[in-house]
Amino acid sequence: MPTAYAAVIGNPKDTLSREAVSQAGNHVIQFVTPSGVANGNTITLTFETGFNIASVVTGDVTVEGAAVTSATPSSQTLTITCAASNVVAASGTVDIVISNNHITNPGSAGDYTVIIGGSFGDTGAIAVPILTSDRISVSGDIGFSITFSLSTTSCALNTLTTGSVASCGPFYFTVGTTAGSGYTVTVQDQGNGSSPGLYKGSTAAKLIATSNQALVAGTTEGYGIQAAIRTSTPTIPAKFTVGGTTVAGLLRTADTIASSTGATTANHEVNVTPRASINAGTPAGSYGDTLTFLATGNF
């Protein structure tokens, strides 16, 4: 008398959404059924000890993309009762999806088995790996870079007169960086070595002081700079972004003139315009000053 053998499923696989120990996840189980699945058949999925399937409910399970009649966990076995919409023809592929993260992985790493059986008549097993960790923290560094340049190294105000406020430039600086927290560009004034300003060093020395002020030709002895965006989106403190004959005072300490809070997608350029005015009593002679610009990346 011939012995009835259960057919062995083909191409079984169980795709887990997470394979890390103790992680809750979903399972997508697929296999080829030699016998087919009929309406009312059960498919049992027996998860190896360690898996916790107690939270699975009927609504978590679909077969062939359709809801099942029932899905009932008991100990390590989930029994799925198929409805008419779950029918699979002989040699067809069965797709079982268990969603909503209701199956928790074992607490120890290793190779675990899911055994497939049930009244539909076929049997088989699938091995799944459970890992200490299934995720790799990926980090990367964009090359550390910062560049800075000045469009010129000199700016001549030429002969100052009482008839107008003198200016030169604008010259500009260019800064670009990959620093995630952006950059800071500072300007520092040489002045006479102890006080900022436009300085006549020859005897008798004279310093045209610098401050935030509106210069008036012939009346105000004063000096300072203006700054404005040339390209892109640098942040410039308000005291520098003045117009007309108003200027920002310079400092003997490094004073932020431009900055960004993130890497520059394109180089930032900032125009700088020095301005000065004198009155009739401003001593004759040659005046000079040195502005030092420094860029610092905030990595």
Using the rule CB under 8 A, is 51 a contact of another protein? no
**59 phi/psi in degrees, rounded to 5:** -65, -15
| CA distances in angstroms from 105 to 16, 18, 22, 53, listed in the order given | 10, 8, 5, 9
Instruction: Select 86 or 296, whichever has its Cβ closest to another protein.
Output: 296
* Residue whose structure tokens are 């000199």: 154
Instruction: Select 60 or 289, whichever has its Cβ closest to another protein.
Output: 289
Instruction: Select 8 or 24, whichever has its Cβ closest to another protein.
Output: 8
Using the rule CB under 8 A, is 40 a contact of another protein? no
Query: Scanning residues 66 to 105, which ones bind another protein (CB under 8 A)?
Result: none
Q: Exactly one of 65, 140, 243, 281 binds another protein (CB under 8 A); which one?
A: 281
Instruction: Select 13 or 66, whichever has its Cβ closest to another protein.
Output: 13
Q: Coil, strand, or helix at residue 236?
A: coil
Give the binding-site size for another protein (rule: CB under 8 A): 82
- Are the C-beta atoms of 189 and 276 separated by less than 8 Å? no
Q: Could you tell me if residue 85 is left (phi over 0), alpha (psi between -120 and 50 degrees) or otherwise beta?
A: alpha
Query: Scanning residues 231 to 250, which ones bind another protein (CB under 8 A)?
Result: none
CA dihedral (164, 166, 170, 173) in degrees, to 10, reads: -140
Q: Exactly one of 33, 41, 86, 177 binds another protein (CB under 8 A); which one?
A: 177
DSSP-assigned letter for residue 89:
-
Q: What is the CA radius of gyration of the chain?
A: 39
| CA distances in angstroms from 114 to 117, 126, 192, listed in the order given | 10, 5, 84
| Cα separation, 188 vs 209, whole angstroms | 14
Peptide bond into 204 cis (omega under 30): yes
Instruction: Select 89 or 156, whichever has its Cβ closest to another protein.
Output: 156
| Cα separation, 27 vs 201, whole angstroms | 83
Using the rule CB under 8 A, is 17 a contact of another protein? no
Instruction: Select 52 or 184, whichever has its Cβ closest to another protein.
Output: 184
Using the rule CB under 8 A, is 265 a contact of another protein? no
Quote the least distance from Cβ 142 to another protein, whole Å. Answer: 10
Q: Exactly one of 30, 77, 79, 178 binds another protein (CB under 8 A); which one?
A: 178
Query: Scanning residues 128 to 167, which ones bind another protein (CB under 8 A)?
Result: 128-134, 136, 139, 141, 144-150, 152-161, 166
Instruction: Select 73 or 124, whichever has its Cβ closest to another protein.
Output: 124
Draw the binding track, 195-234, toward another protein (x: CB under 8 A; -: no contact).
---x-x--xx-x-----------xx-x-------------
